[in-house]
């Protein structure tokens, strides 16, 4: 069994980040699913649910990004890995796309299609890439101990 060496930073900040970081990911994935359902069925329920989910995901994305900002760019300039910085930028671009997606969801009825599906898909794709980069980071940096 391998052991991952502990990360730097305050334990409370790491705990807050670990608890709140998955929430926007889940909301944005559900937004993508609901956008696809709306594009295929035209039932207005799905687009309203997607609008709420993208908004909730954006609200919950603020605190983890601020914690990540401090850990990567302010306090850990010398210790931040390239993967940490890439994760930060991918998440930031995903949040910007989600903001545009929230504006698209403010339109009426079928005017949101196909922009909502594309924006949701790109947002989720960027988040998936960021998760994969962070999952592979310990193996590339040598933080995994045998």
- Kindly state the helix (H) or strand (E) to which residue 77 belongs, with its residue range: none
Confidence class for position 100, pLDDT limits 50, 70, 90: very high
- Predicted pLDDT of residue 109: 76
> Does residue 138 have a pLDDT over 80?
no
- pTM score of the predicted model: 0.84
> Does residue 66 have a pLDDT over 50?
yes
Torsion of CA 6, 19, 104, 43, to 10 degrees: 130
- Predicted pLDDT of residue 79: 62
Whether residue 57 contacts residue 27, with contact meaning beta carbons closer than 8 Å, is answered with yes
> Does residue 89 have a pLDDT over 60?
yes
- Predicted pLDDT of residue 7: 53
- Predicted pLDDT of residue 142: 62
Q: Average pLDDT for residues 106-118, to the nearest whole number?
A: 89
Bridge-partner residues for 15, per DSSP?
A: none
- Predicted pLDDT of residue 41: 93
Q: Chain-centre distance of CA 137, in angstroms?
A: 17
Whether residue 98 contacts residue 2, with contact meaning beta carbons closer than 8 Å, is answered with no
> Does residue 47 have a pLDDT over 70?
yes
Query: What rounded mean pLDDT belongs to the chain?
Result: 86
Q: To which residue do tokens 């995994």 refer?
A: 144
% of the chain at pLDDT higher than 90? 60
């Amino acid at each position: 069994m391998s052991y991952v060496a502990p990360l730097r930073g305050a334990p409370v900040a790491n705990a807050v980040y670990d608890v709140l970081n998955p929430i926007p990911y889940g909301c944005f994935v559900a937004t993508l699913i609901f956008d696809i359902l709306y594009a295929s069925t035209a039932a207005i329920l799905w687009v309203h649910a997607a609008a709420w989910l993208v908004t909730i995901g954006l609200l919950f994305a603020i605190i983890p990004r601020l914690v990540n900002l401090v850990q990567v760019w302010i306090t850990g300039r010398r210790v931040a890995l390239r993967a940490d910085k890439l994760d930060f930028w991918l998440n930031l671009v995903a949040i910007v796309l989600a903001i545009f997606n929230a504006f698209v969801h403010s339109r009426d009825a079928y005017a949101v299609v196909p922009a909502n599906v594309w924006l949701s898909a790109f947002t989720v794709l960027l988040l998936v890439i960021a998760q994969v980069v962070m999952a592979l980071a310990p193996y590339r940096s040598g933080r995994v101990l045998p």
